[in-house]
Structure 1
Amino acid sequence: MTAVPSIPRLSRGTQLGYALGSVGTAAFGTVPGLLLLYYLTDVLGVAAGIAGLVVFAPKAWDVLLNPWIGSRSDRTESRWGPRRPWMLAGGVTLPLLFVLVFAGPGAPPALAAGWVAVTFLLAATAYGCFQVPYVAQPAEITDDPGERATLMSWRVAALALGILLAGAGAPAVVDAFGGGRGGYLAMAVFVALLLALGMLGAVAGTRRAPTLTRVRSEARLLPTLRLAWRSRPFRVLLAGFVLQALGIGVMLAGVPYYSEQVLGDPAAGTVLFVALVAPAILVMPLWLRVSRRLGKRKGLLLSAAVFVFGAGSVVVWDDFGPAGAYAAVVLVGIGYAGMQMFPLAMLPDVIAADEATSGQRRAGVFTGVWTAAETLGLAIGPGLLGGLLALAGYVSSTGDEVVTQGTAAAVTVELGLSVVPALLVLLSLPVLARYRLDPVPTQEVPA
């Protein structure tokens, strides 16, 4: 690995351009988990168990795909740098593929489920082409830890904004266009515009960013993965992060079911999502202060504990009606903000520590494994909820068909937004308590 002797500072335009990509990652990371399972069961009439599998299987493909993309982008040489060609490929193809997911046949259910499975698989592939190199890029465009922290702060702010726009806007568009297949297709077009804005904006916005390192990776993917897995801090952080992503995935998938079955108002899903995400923008400075005072590990543990308490209390507070449920979800959102920020800040520390001990840059491989695990956790969440609903006897429906759910199904819907996510995130606490790493500052290597 070599480094450029004089490190140019990133312009504010580059910082904002890079952060813009998180609007795209937030949109694709949020909307399928929030709406796709419900679209399959209550619009297309697909059985809950099969719908859960359809949502899970294509994104599980990323477990194999993302590390491969990371390894290949590590070795990519172009005048655009190693990452931007891959980001462009994903940014061009994903918006169209996302629209196609919701543009397929409405019947019979088997054909509809097959269409969604295939197009969602292609969309997940395009997303991996963008996300993996995008997450790896900060390690190469600046060697200044302070500048990298500034870059990440802009990214987290854009991520929160993107989650709010996509998560609150997508259900609102569905309702505005009358629900059903037409409403979901209009929603897909809206989300596709967010994807194009964020992903292509990041490609254009980082066009003047320097590439300060030249990567030398292992020739084969599997040996590189084994070397990355030997990093104990990475293993611990990844395991805890996956458990938290799984809990978040269950909660997001449960929002539309909870809105209709418990609160009795499908439009309440938008309010619930705003209550979950809006605190992220407001309390982020608080979590940054906690990070400086207590450290990132303690901050992550504290934010996860707040999430667990808030999620577990939903079943109590919703006895007071929608206002009580919204108040509980606001508390969940305060914890959720920290759970988004701290892992993003800790991953570069792990990469820097690996570089210091190994002498090699494996940012692409680390981020490939990381994004694959994140995607898998968020995909298993809806699949797990779908399986629980199937066991509880949840009855799927199509269009405006009104179905009365049994007691077991109704209880499962309520637990899917509260107790189940709380337990999954609670399991992450003893895992993350074992995380130990003193951040290693990146040092410039003389040319």
Structure 2
Amino acid sequence: MTAHSMSVGAQADTSAHDGRIATSVLARYGIGQLGAQVFRDTPAVLLPLFMTTMLGVEAWLAGLVVLVPKLWLIVCDPLVGAWSDRARGRFGRTPFLVAGAVLTGLGFLALFTLTKSGSPLLSAAITCALFFLASTAFSMFSVPYLAIAAALSHDAHERTRIMVFRMVFSTLGVLVGVGVAQPLVYGLGGGDFGWTVMAVVLGLASMATMLVTALGLMRVPMIVDQTAPGTLRSQLGAIAGNRPYLVLLTTCLVQNVGQAAGYTVIGFIYLYALQAVWIVPAFILIMSICGIVAQPMWLRLSRTWGKERAYVVASLGWAAVTATWYFIHPADDVLVTLPGLGALGTQHVLVLVRGGIIGVVNSAFVMLSLSMLTDTIDYQRRHKGVANEGVFAGLFSAFEKLSFALGPVLAGLVMSAFGFVSSTGGAVAQTPQAIHGIVLLYSLIPVGTQLVSLLIFSRYRLDR
């Protein structure tokens, strides 16, 4: 059977996937991550801030609001993966990608515009229900999207190239979802109008970029094995024999819990600990530029050192720079004056320096972990003769979303324990103790989980 153009997930001969992937295909694949990253990061960063300062929801309850939909995704993501595996031979994965893109964008818009009520408890319940629906829609896109990466090439280094492009657009998604969202809200007054404009702009941007991938890959041929027979439970049982996959899965789960706790308090860090929300766009811009520029370097290092060693080096670098956030405080001097930014104190300059370093190392270990995921799927294909990419991607995605649900719960518990005060109509002053709890969540707590995850990763072994 020869390779021919057909919908995403259609069969093609293996020889068509041994060479270099066209840059246009990589770009069309990667751009979908921009919108996906906006949906993943913006609610994680801003939904707790929105609920505690606009809806009057207690910090611990805001964490639970995020947790409940994510718990459902532990079941939903593997189901979507298995469903897309079964449907790919006849329909491809395109219907999942298109439906997921449209519904995710609409769900994002609803989260910040349809959740206000006369009661904080009712507002929390509405937010939870809408986030449940939006997260389910996102699963329809994100799981098949991740599965596609393992079906584009047999070459491990080509799969790293795929993830480099994905990481570039992921970084742009962070720039939009974190660097633009919060300053846009507060630039428009920080009230209902600011939140609504942000939701419309980012919701439509998320939908549009995800649709580019969904429609742009319709005729790209994919590697497709026969779907493993049996129930989802039996398919997951086959995964249980893939030790490299299980080690990587556990590593990323532990690592992401700490990172998610940190993401939850980004808005609080710049609002309370640094008192400099205006510097967020510059921080994210520098982080994004450095992350994108560093990608060719990490691609070379992964070939020279191996993906595992490069991953450990990047992870340790991230932990080292993240630990320094513990010493942040509002700037009390003027160190330099820059065009477009104005007067910058020592603390402001250090924030921007951290942004550059974090961009370099964070983009590396995230990209490499996804590249190693495709390696473990290929490992299954070589050893078992069949690899259901959708089930693998679904379980991996489920654990990632679980960690990004546990992170806000951890953050909410720590913030409540340190005395954070919720409000309605805008942010209110916090005690030094409450601010200290926020700083811990952004520094030492994620450093601890990162180091524990590396201990787990030391068990990762993948034959070549």
Q: TM-score normalised to the size of structure 2? A: 0.89
Identity of aligned residues (%): 30
2:220 to 209, 223, 241: 209
TM superposition shift of 1:237: 0.7
User: Given the alignment, which residue of 421, 428, 450 partners 1:395?
Assistant: 421
Name 2:32's counterpart in structure 1: 21
The residue aligned with 1:326 is: 352
Is 1:66 aligned with 2:77? yes
C-alpha displacement of 1:117: 0.5
Residue 106 of structure 2 aligns with which residue? 96
Shift in CA distance, 287/262, structure 1 to aligned 2, threshold 3 Å: same
Are the counterparts in 2 of residues 48 and 394 from structure 1 also a CA contact under 8 Å? yes
Partner of 2:118: 107
**Which residue does the alignment assign to 1:374?**
400
The reply to whether residue 195 of structure 1 matches residue 206 of structure 2 is: yes
**1:65–1:125 Cα contact (<8 Å) kept:** yes
From 340, 359, 372, give the equivalent of 2:385: 359
Deviation at 1:356, TM superposition (A): 1.0
* 1:287 aligns to 2:298 (yes or no): yes
Partner of 1:405: 430
- Residue of structure 1 aligned with 2:86, choices 75, 78, 94: 75
Return the match for 2:136 from 103, 122, 125: 125
Q: Is the 8 A contact 1:74 1:363 kept in 2?
A: yes
Q: Write the letter of the residue equivalent to 1:262.
A: A
**CA deviation after TM superposition for structure 1 residue 146, in Å:** 5.4
Match of 1:84 in 2: 94
Q: Post-superposition shift, 1:329?
A: 4.0
Distance 1:394 1:166 in 2: 25
Which region of structure 1 is more displaced relative to structure 2, 136-145 or 151-160? 136-145
2:339 matched residue in structure 1 = none
1:39-438 correspondence runs (5 A): 39-77=50-88, 80-81=91-92, 83-104=93-114, 105-145=116-156, 147-316=158-327, 318=329, 320-400=346-426, 403-438=428-463
Distance, in Å, in 2 between the alignment partners of 1:6 and 1:94 is: 36
Alpha carbons of 1:226 and 1:255: their partners in 2 closer, same or farther (altered >3 Å)? same
Contact 1:255 1:272 in 2 (8 A): no
Amino acid at match of 2:111: V
Pair 1:278–1:229, CA change in 2 (3 A): farther
TM-aligned CA deviation for residue 432 of structure 1: 1.0
For residues 300 and 283 of structure 1, what CA distance do their matches in structure 2 show? 14
| Native 8 Å contact 1:74 1:215 kept in 2 | no
Paired with 1:335 and 1:405, the residues of 2 have a C-alpha distance of: 32
CA offsets 1:186-234 (integer angstroms, 9 cap, x no match): 1111211221122110011101111342431232111111211221111
User: Distance in 2 between the 1:169 and 1:262 partners?
Assistant: 19
Provide the secondary structure at the position in 1 that maps to 2:151.
Answer: helix
CA positional deviation for 1:396: 0.5
Residue 176 of structure 1 deviates from its aligned partner by 2.9
In the TM superposition, what is the alpha-carbon distance from 1:361 to its structure 2 partner?
1.8
Indicate if the aligned counterparts of 1:25 and 1:195 stay in contact, CA closer than 8 A: yes
Structure 2 letter corresponding to 1:408: Q
Where 1:178 maps in the other structure, the secondary structure is coil
Please name the residue that 2:3 is paired with.
none
Unaligned ranges ≥5, structure 1: 440-447
CA distance in 2, matches of 1:6, 1:423: 45
Range with greater deviation from structure 2 (32-41 or 106-115): 106-115
Residues 317 and 37 of structure 1, relative CA distance in 2, 3 Å threshold:
closer
Deviations 1:222-280 (A, max 9, x none): 11112112211111111111122122211211111111111123333434444544421
For 1:266 and 1:109, how far apart are their aligned partners in 2? 26
Q: Which moved more, 1:135-144 or 1:267-276?
A: 267-276
Structure 1 counterpart of 2:318, which letter?
F
Q: Shift in Å at residue 322 of structure 1?
A: 2.5
Q: Which moved more, 1:402-411 or 1:61-70?
A: 402-411
> CA–CA distance in 2 between the matches of 1:437 and 1:295?
11
Residues 291 and 150 (structure 1 numbering): CA distance in 2 closer, same or farther, change over 3 Å?
Answer: closer
> Is the contact between residue 244 and residue 425 of structure 1 (CA under 8 Å) also seen in structure 2?
yes
Deviation at 1:315, TM superposition (A): 2.1
Deviation at 1:90, TM superposition (A): 0.3
Further displaced range: 153-162 or 249-258 = 153-162
In 1, Cα distance between equivalents of 2:11 and 2:170:
32
Taking the aligned partners of 2:201 and 2:34, their CA distance within structure 1 comes to 13
Change (3 A) 1:392 1:244: same
Amino acid at match of 1:4: D
Moved more, 267-276 or 229-238: 267-276
> What is the CA–CA distance in structure 1 between the aligned matches of 2:95 and 2:432, rounded to whole Å?
52
1:399–1:349 Cα change, 3 Å: same
Match for 2:260: what amino acid?
A: G
TM value normalised by structure 1:
0.92
Deviates more, 1:318-327 or 1:405-414: 318-327
Report how far residue 357 of structure 1 moved.
1.0
Q: Relative to structure 2, which stretch is displaced further, 135-144 or 29-38?
A: 135-144
Partner of 1:7 in structure 2? 16
Which residue is 1:445 aligned to? none
Distance in 2 (alpha carbons) for counterparts of 1:334 and 1:150: 16
Say which SS state the counterpart of residue 91 (structure 1) adopts: helix
Tell me the alpha carbon deviations over residues 374-404 of structure 1, each in whole angstroms, 9 at most, x when there is no partner. Answer: 111122212211111011111001114x633
